[in-house]
């Protein structure tokens, strides 16, 4: 994090602290304004750290118009980057969209006597506030680098799974080759013991598998009937 980013992060924390104080004191509009400014500042910083700077239009705009404009610009940048978009770009875009949706909901005028719509609006504001809080939580996790660590963990786990699948496929191939040779050799000489057949199978198929493992396989194959049994009971 650069010095400028560190200063911005400190300012974001200050706004949050002031917002909490205002909330506990019952100054709800002030608390909302502080929290809103903090999350927007963090989203803007995320874009700036990825090389994107937003510029305020020369015309006078309302707070809602500014947030909606940020949401539109952020989405354009996110879509332009496609799969190459970082976690910070993705979560910051989501934050702008959630903030814009909340601002638009706040600005809608509803007559006080229209009780059903008032109740619906209250429910909408609560839910949109919840969404904004959820995205803010994800931004905090992103700030700590946990999202990147989780993605790295998932990639490593996928690699291990792929490696295990390849190993299992190789094992299946070895077992299949050993079985084919065991059938062929046992048909020609059914008097071979399990161990003798295992030795011949390993040489014929050029396997690195141990004699003990091959012997166990052959014993099982003969038991299930997929390899001819020993003809001489004396062996």
Kindly state whether residue 159 falls inside one of the protein's structural domains: no
Do 218 and 177 lie in one domain? The reply is: yes
Domain range for residue 43?
A: 3-150
Look at residue 155 and tell me if it is in a domain.
no
Q: Does 72 fall in a domain?
A: yes
> What SS3 string covers 72-121?
HHHHHHHHHHHHHCCHHHHHHHHHHHHHHHHHHHHHCCCCCCCHHHHHHH
Q: Give the tens place of pLDDT for each residue, 103-116.
A: 888 887 766 667 77
Please indicate, yes or no, whether residues 102 and 174 belong to a single structural domain of this protein: no
> Above 70 in pLDDT, residue 199?
yes
Quote the pLDDT of residue 72.
Answer: 92
Q: What are 204-216's pLDDT values in tens digits?
A: 888 888 888 888 8
Cα–Cα distance for residue pair 6/3, rounded to 1 Å: 5
| Number of independent structural domains in the chain | 2
Please report the pLDDT score of residue 166 as a whole number.
67
Residues 79 and 178 both lie in one domain: no
149 has a pLDDT exceeding 70: no
């Amino acid at each position: 994090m650069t010095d400028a980013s560190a200063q911005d992060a400190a300012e974001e924390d200050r706004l949050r602290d002031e917002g909490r104080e205002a909330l506990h004191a019952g100054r709800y509009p002030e608390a909302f304004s502080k929290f809103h400014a903090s999350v927007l500042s963090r989203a803007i910083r995320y874009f700036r750290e990825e090389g994107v700077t937003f510029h305020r239009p020369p015309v006078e705009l309302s707070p809602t118009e500014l947030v909606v404009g940020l949401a539109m610009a952020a989405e354009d940048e996110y879509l332009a980057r496609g799969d190459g978009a970082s976690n910070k770009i993705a979560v910051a875009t989501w934050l702008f969209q959630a903030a814009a949706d909340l601002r638009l909901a706040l600005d809608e005028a509803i007559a006080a006597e229209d009780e059903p719509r008032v109740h619906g609006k209250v429910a909408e504001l609560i839910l949109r506030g919840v969404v904004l809080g959820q995205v803010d939580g994800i931004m905090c996790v992103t700030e700590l680098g946990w999202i990147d660590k989780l993605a790295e963990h998932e990639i490593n786990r996928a690699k291990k799974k792929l490696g295990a699948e390849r190993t299992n496929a190789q094992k299946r191939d070895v077992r299949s080759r050993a079985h084919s040779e065991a059938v062929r050799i046992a048909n020609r000489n059914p008097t071979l013991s399990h161990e003798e057949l295992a030795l011949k199978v390993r040489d014929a198929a050029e396997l690195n598998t141990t004699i003990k493992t091959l012997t166990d396989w052959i014993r099982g194959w003969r038991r299930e009937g997929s390899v001819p049994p020993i003809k001489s009971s004396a062996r």
